[in-house]
Amino acid sequence: MPSLKKSTIAVVVLLLALLAGSMLMLRYYELDLIHTVVVNTVLQKAPEEYSSNRVRSAFAAARLRAEREGRERTYLEGLVALSQRLEKVQFLSRAEIDEILRELESPAE
């Protein structure tokens, strides 16, 4: 019976270590994940003729600017807010995408 308890404790400790490692990894890649999801969501909801390169480059430039200025957390919060807005619409018009890209160029401080 004591060996069963020891092996159970070992398994629980291993699972907790894996959980902690996974959480740290997700935290490290959080910006990458959310950035990619939001860009892909905008592209999926955009009209077919809208330039995907324009969308990708606008988001890439906004992210680079945020990193250079030390505003990664603010940029991440903006992406989360945009993601919530995107959940409510099925398709985006050209004007809506243009507005999103303008907001990326001049973020609210």
Is 3 a member of any domain? no
Look at residue 1 in the predicted model and tell me its pLDDT: 53
Predicted TM-score of the model (pTM): 0.75
Distance from C-alpha of 62 to C-alpha of 60, rounded to nearest angstrom: 5
Is 5 a member of any domain? no
Report pLDDT digits (tens) over 76-104: 999 999 999 999 999 999 999 999 999 99
**N-terminal to C-terminal alpha carbon distance within the chain:** 61
Domain that holds residue 53: 30-105
How many domains does the chain divide into?
A: 1
Look at residue 3 in the predicted model and tell me its pLDDT: 64
Say which amino acid occupies 46: A
Report pLDDT digits (tens) over 14-40: 888 888 887 777 677 888 999 999 999
Look at residue 30 in the predicted model and tell me its pLDDT: 87
Give the dihedral sign, CA 82/85/91/94. Answer: negative
Is 17 a member of any domain? no
Is 2 a member of any domain? no
Give the dihedral sign, CA 97/103/106/107. Answer: negative
